[in-house]
Amino acid sequence: MSRKLMVRVPPSEFQITPETKIQWACYEQGLTTHAVSTTLGNLKSSLDSQNASFDEHLILLSGRLVSHQYKQVSKAQIKHLDKALPFLMEDELTEEVSCFHFASAVPTEPLRSSVESGTYKNTGSSSSSPSPTSQYLAVSAIKHTDMKALLRYLDDQALSPDQVLAEAEIPIAHGSSINVLLDKDSALLSVSGEAGLSMDAAAVGFALAHLQNSQPELSKLPVILQYDPGQANDEYQANLLQKTIQNLGWMVETTPLPGSVLNYLSEQFSNTVITGFCNLRTGQYCDHSKKSTSGKWVKGFMAAAACWLLLEIGLMTGNGLLFSSRAQQYWHQSAALYLEAFPKDQLIHNAVKRNPGSVDIQNRLKSRLNNTRADAKTASFLQWLSIISQQAQGAGLISPNSLSFNRQSQTLSMDFKANSLAQVEQFQVALKSKGFHGKLENAHQEPGGVIAQLTVGELP
């Protein structure tokens, strides 16, 4: 279980300075140490003198410094709470709302039930139950000057509070009773486990008289009056207040606290079931240096992922540079080999000098080879044509009608007219003597002679 440092600024203090009197105690495993009194400016030295260390720091402020109210708000106001909140508290404050810092929370059980049923009257509005489009909201307000001063003096001592709360939020009554917690000239008034009302001790009688008139059914509840016997005159003040309350017709039970008011509030705070406290250490006064464990885990993971990503990018960039360098090297080697075969290719010469890698050597070589084959085939066709023409003339009256040369099969198809079929056979023999074979594909007799189709190719 965590060790909590509970620091209280009592109602006797009206402003925050290094000389402001405070009390501190340690709460751990259901036990609170004896309260130590010191000043705000000497808090760190007081803690060091006790060799005290803590996991959480919590500050409790009295009603002298923090105003705490309950307000009925609409769903529309909830959506724009940051802007609506100051105007909700405007009637409760004695100065301009711009001078205050606000914190809010939705009250949790059992406080919500008592507020909505109309038992709790510190709403600053009508005590009727909220409509289906509204709800109750707990609101705390503190002057910016006080909040800044508090955090500044703590920061000067390397202390940073996790929560800054109004002590009036802490329920000090349990069950069916009205509880009055006396602290010198101030008091906290609470009804049936609700949050307390902070007021002067002299105003308790007037508050109970008003409660009798507005909610007479509460007059049957007993009043529990508690005080700190360790403080001078508190017992005397408690006896005077007891008589005042009894004269109003209330049953009063006066009991001393087993420890200080801070000890009592610390135990009540740690044992309460209410979680909807208004932490003033929020908004512009949030401590961004303190991060949750989950946040640290996520940020650690993100940092590791970022390092991995940077490493991966670095490796990819390095590989890219390496491959680029090798590609340039291989291109120059390919270009040198290509120019050995085709030394007059000016395109490759220009690429080597001005823009290496701009020409695809492989495609260039394929193009060159295809052109070379085409030139060779063209030369063989012309050679064939010369030989076949000579043999056609030697065979007599042979008149070619059409010629078709197939480069892939290296054959020549020719349609011609001869005087007779014997003349066609004579032409085949003449071709064979020159190293060609002539395959007769078709031949038919016509009145003027023979029309024949011959396929000519080189002999194997």
Per CATH, 4-290 and 370-458 having the same topology is answered no
- Residue 91 pLDDT more than 50? yes
**Backbone phi, psi, residue 336, to 5°:** -65, -45
Residue 194 pLDDT = 67
CA atoms within 13 A on the CB side of 131: 7
Taken in order 238, 243, 249, 253, the sign of the CA dihedral is: positive
**Alpha helices by DSSP H, 61-106:** 75-79, 81-88
- CATH for 4-290 is 3.30.420.380
**Alpha helices by DSSP H, 16-105:** 43-49, 75-79, 81-88
Checking DSSP bridges between strand 178-183 and strand 223-227, what pairing results, if any?
parallel
Q: Are 151 and 159 in contact (CB under 8 A)?
A: no
Residue-range domain boundaries for the chain? 4-290, 296-342+347-354, 370-458
Q: What is the pLDDT of residues 177-216, one digit of tens each?
A: 888 989 888 888 888 756 678 888 889 989 888 888 888 8
Which CATH homologous superfamily contains domain 370-458? General secretion pathway protein M, EpsM (3.30.1360.100)
Q: What is the pLDDT of residues 334-376, one digit of tens each?
A: 888 888 878 878 888 888 888 887 888 888 777 777 665 555 4
Residue with tokens 């709790």: 120
Q: Are 56 and 287 in contact (CB under 8 A)?
A: no
| Rounded-to-integer distance, Cα 232 and Cα 119, Å | 34
**Alpha helices by DSSP H, 97-225:** 111-116, 144-155, 204-214
Q: What is the pLDDT of residues 123-165, one digit of tens each?
A: 344 344 555 566 778 888 899 999 999 999 999 998 889 899 9
| Rounded-to-integer distance, Cα 361 and Cα 48, Å | 81
Q: Give CA separation, 381 vs 390, 407, 411, 431, in Å.
A: 14, 9, 9, 15
